[in-house]
Amino acid sequence: MLTQLTGFELTRGMLACLHRKELPTVEEICINASRVAVLEDVMNPTNIGAIFRSAAALGMDAVLLTSACSDPLYRRASRVSMGTVFQVPWTYLDRDSGKWLSKLKSLGFKTAAMALKEDTVNINNPLLMAEEKLAIILGTEGDGLADTTIDGCDYTVKIPMAHGVDSLNVAAASAVAFWQLGNNSK
């Protein structure tokens, strides 16, 4: 059947076809959560997998993704995550950042945009760390978060850099943010 579909023999081991369970709603994911990661348009499956692994290890309750993000169940993402895409609750958000930001806020979350802007708070800001419910929002590789997303957030947070380095990869930035702001730091 694979040969008929693709036109050439491709099998390199196990092949399966599965029906996916319906994803939970944002409300179901967030009902008992105090720390969630929000990924806006993160397209690289390796970064998705690394972010899920950090989320699992560093105290995040869930991961929420915009529809432009790479699929967490993509083979590369699930492999890099070391299987944590099957442990950390996750779902997709509405396309419109205004809608999903409003939804998070209605669920009691303060929102923290991780962004390279001048008017920011430091990642170890006591007010930020004391928030009861916090959504840590990370953006796509290269462009980062949309300006409308940053403008709609309660905080804009920057990780201080040394040696003239301007930024971290989104997966590395997520690990720093989750370590500092995740449930393990409370």
Structure tokens at 10: 């491709």
Contacts of 141 (CB under 8 A, 6+ apart): 42, 43, 44, 47, 169, 170
pTM: 0.88
Mean pLDDT, to the nearest integer, of 47-75?
95
The 10s digit of each residue's pLDDT in 2-51 is: 677 666 666 665 556 677 889 999 999 999 999 999 999 999 999 999 99
Degrees to nearest 5, angle at CA 31 with 49 and 175: 30
Q: Which amino acid is at 87?
A: Q
Q: Which residues contact 129 (CB under 8 A, 6 or more apart)?
A: 180, 181, 185, 186
Higher per-residue pLDDT: 122 or 97: 122
Where is pLDDT greater, at 5 or 148? 148
With the C-alpha atoms ordered 169, 50, 43, 67, is the resulting torsion angle positive or negative?
negative
Mean predicted confidence (pLDDT) in 157-167: 87
Q: CB under 8 Å to 177, separation ≥6 — which residues? A: 114, 123, 136, 138, 157, 159
What number of helices (H) and strands (E) belong to the chain?
8, 7
Inter-residue contact 82 to 46 (CB < 8 Å): no
Alpha helices in the chain (DSSP H): 2-6, 26-30, 45-57, 75-80, 97-106, 126-129, 147-152, 170-181
Rounded Cα gap, residues 37 and 49, in angstroms:
13
Q: Is the pLDDT of residue 123 over 70?
A: yes
